[in-house]
Amino acid sequence: MSSHTDPQKALTELRACMNDLETREALLTGERNSGLAYEALALGDTKARKRLGEINESLVSLEQDRAAMQSAITEAERRCTAAQASVKTAAEKAGAEKALDLAKTLRDHGKAIDKAAHAMFAHTAELRLALIELSKLGGPNIYLADSALKRALITASMGSKLQLMHLAPTDRHSFAELTDRWAQGVTAFAERKLAAPLELEQKEKAA
């Protein structure tokens, strides 16, 4: 039998050796019980008596070897269990360390999301103040603007696991697209208002 530092390999080889011992023991016992004992003890056959003595000595030796082998197998099994427990403990420790890292990641993302959300709603509040002022000057209706802002928020969530709801393609727009559209309308409105007095002045001069 070769030597192994790996208890699992040692256990496999020890069990193979035990099977070999048991096979040899069964063969010798079978030979003894096949009539050899009768010939040696009842008939006094000298040759049979000699062979019976050899078999008995071998069986005694095999029994001792089998007892020792069983002790070795028991110890190998204990070491295998200990090794497996050690591997499991190491895996659990690695998992625990990873869990700690992930816990920190959770906190960092939570803080970042809160910060982004607060910033978004702060910008939204300032945007609404501007829209309220513009509504007094002929700009977008504030209630319709609120509805459009909500659709922009829903659009931003679409495609993510936190999708708020589904919108038809024609109802989707980003915040930038929405505010750009409003800004274009307000700019055109303001430019027309600013151009009106100038046109009137030019007409008066022409008259």
pLDDT tens by residue, 17-34? 999 999 999 999 999 999
Q: For residues 61 and 113, state if they share a domain.
A: no
Please give the full DSSP string across 57-91, using - where no structure is assigned.
HHHHHHHHHHHHHHHHHHHHHHHHHHHHHHHHHHH
Q: For residues 95 and 174, state if they share a domain.
A: no
| Total domains, the chain | 2
What would the mean pLDDT of 29-55 be, rounded to a whole number? 92
Q: For residues 67 and 157, state if they share a domain.
A: no
Q: For residues 89 and 143, state if they share a domain.
A: no
What would the mean pLDDT of 193-206 be, rounded to a whole number? 65
Residue 26 lies in a domain: yes
The domain containing residue 26 runs over which residues?
A: 7-100
CA count, 13 A, side-chain hemisphere, 51: 17
Q: For residues 91 and 112, state if they share a domain.
A: no
pTM: 0.57
**pLDDT tens track for 130-144:** 999 998 887 889 999
Residue 63 lies in a domain: yes
Domain boundary among 80, 100, 120: 100
What local confidence, expressed as pLDDT, does residue 193 receive? 81
The dihedral sign for the CA sequence 55, 61, 65, 67: positive
Q: What is the DSSP letter of 5?
A: S
